[in-house]
Chain A
Amino acid sequence: MSNMTESEVFDKFAQIVARSLRIDASRVSIDAQLNDLGAESLDLIEISMETESQFHIFLPDKSILETAVEVFGSDILEKDGYLTEEGKRLMMRRLPEADVRAFQGEIAVKDLQGYFLKVGSWVRMVQALAKFTPGECAECGGRMTASMGFRMKCASCGQEITLRSGEELNRAWVREYYETEYLPQAALVAVSVNAVQ
């Protein structure tokens, strides 16, 4: 799983979406949004489950913005339904594929739903998570197969590993951003303000 290309992930994911929504796979493009393809809330659950099962990954159960708000605290990234400048910076780092111009002006939280429902966003998320799913056993090089729950087992030596969840990986990404980018920047701003005063 770890070395799947974006195109390979897309092909497989498009089949999952097409089967769940009972549409032709040719309708599933990288730019399409799942809700525009007809997905309702429970369809998204089914697509998530099938994606997790086929790629041996665990998708996060809440949006990256929510996870980030938990780490940063309230009102730093989002206030009254709109992203703050800090929130925009974080989302631009998280969504490097997004057009920078899309983050100019007021950005409502609802505007981010378009990104999170995009097939391309799902594909990139799946590809990123699949990197943590080993194809081979670290001990003997044997083939890893799905085991119970969030676990994989080596078909040769029986070695078992617990997979990392998408939520855990998201939180780690946010924490790293918080510590290496946000805090140093905030400290610089504080120094500048003190110098002016």
Chain B
Amino acid sequence: MDAFGSTVCDPPDDVQCTPGLSRLWDAPMAPCGQGTLCCRLDALPLEPDLLAHLLLTPSEWEFWRSMRAVDKRRHEWLLGRAVAKDAVRRLVEEHSGVPLTPSEIEIRPDPYGRPEAVGPFATRLGIRPAISISHSHGTAVALAALCPGQLVGIDLENLARRREDFEAIAFSPDERRMLAAMPRESRQEWALRMWCAKEAVAKALGRGFSIGIQAFHITGAETGGGILQLELRDPALEHFPRLRGIPITAHTAREKDFVFATTIYQQGAVE
């Protein structure tokens, strides 16, 4: 006990040597061979400051310390870092046989805000892992890929307390007609799958929703396999003219109250 009556624990020595704090997660993904994986973490495994101390690089630590946010936001940010670092560590170890500690990997936003995994390891090994992170209601997931030119996007949302009329803003008349044709009992779930698919694609392409939600248009659904087809519309096409008329696939699934979507985009072709 310290002078304030709090229990003080020594940091567990083995945390940085464990395979990971998160678990490998069989996310809804197209079979894309080796070089892609997803991790999931459903709760903070340690007291937040201790976890931050163990996982973060000095600049991440500074950011963590300066965050003026509610606990939910801070904890989810930390969960996101933890799960993203795990995904990169696992991928690198699988493919290069090099064990990395979490603090050797820095997850930082690129100029548009898309996270990227950087550090001396990337230069040393000649790799540039692509990463996407999502968190909601205390759960965080990360999708990582090692293949050059691959961009990845993942999104998860919770089915709880969603206004049904969010569809009016989130979807175009065509998309709402598609939803209306779906079974009534699963309509809310599919609305969320469609939303997640849009957000996963927006993340993969790196601009997020700053170019407008309607720029990411759902054109088809294969409900049996949870697959959604999307295409880009203006103004997204101004940024990605080569994607005009190209279908983009998002894989979606539901697990309890969570709905997920992933997309993997290979430059010039779409998975």
A residues apposed to B, CB below 8 Å = 23, 27, 33, 35-38, 40-42, 45-46, 48-49, 61-63, 65-66, 69-70, 74, 80-82, 108-110, 113
Contacts and interface: CB of A to CB of B under 8 A. Distances in A.
B73 A42 contact: no
Interface residues of B, number: 33
A115 to B, nearest CB: 12
18 contacts: A35-B73, A36-B70, A36-B73, A41-B209, A42-B157, A42-B166, A48-B169, A49-B168, A61-B169, A61-B212, A66-B212, A69-B235, A74-B239, A82-B111, A109-B111, A109-B210, A110-B112, A110-B113
Contacts of A66: 210-212, 235
Given A35-B69, A110-B112, A69 B238 contact: yes
B100 interface: no
B213 interface: yes
B101 interface: no
Contacts of A48: 169
A112 to B, nearest CB: 9
A61 B213 contact: yes
Contact of B69 (A36, A40, A49, A80): A36
A24 to B, nearest CB: 11
Interface in B75-106: none
Contacts of B111: 80-82, 108-110
B211 A49 contact: no
A65 B210 contact: yes
Contacts of B199: 41
Nearest to A49: B169
Nearest to B163: A46
B173 to A, nearest CB: 12
Nearest to B165: A49
Contacts, number: 79
Nearest to B214: A61
B15 interface: no
A92 to B, nearest CB: 19
A70 B169 CA distance: 22
B224 interface: no
A42 B195 contact: yes
Given A61-B214, A62-B212, A40 B136 contact: yes
B113 A62 contact: no
Contacts of A108: 111-112
A62 B168 contact: no
A147 to B, nearest CB: 16
A-B pairs with the 7 shortest C-beta distances?
Answer: A81-B111, A36-B69, A110-B113, A62-B212, A108-B111, A63-B210, A38-B72
Nearest to A108: B111
Contacts of B110: 81, 110
Given A45-B169, A49-B169, A62-B215, 15 more contacts: A27-B70, A38-B70, A41-B157, A42-B162, A46-B166, A49-B166, A61-B169, A61-B214, A62-B211, A63-B210, A66-B212, A81-B111, A82-B111, A109-B111, A110-B110
Contacts of B212: 61-62, 66
Contacts of B163: 46, 49
B67 interface: yes
B195 to A, nearest CB: 7
A61 B69 CA distance: 25
B112 A81 contact: yes
A80 B206 CA distance: 12
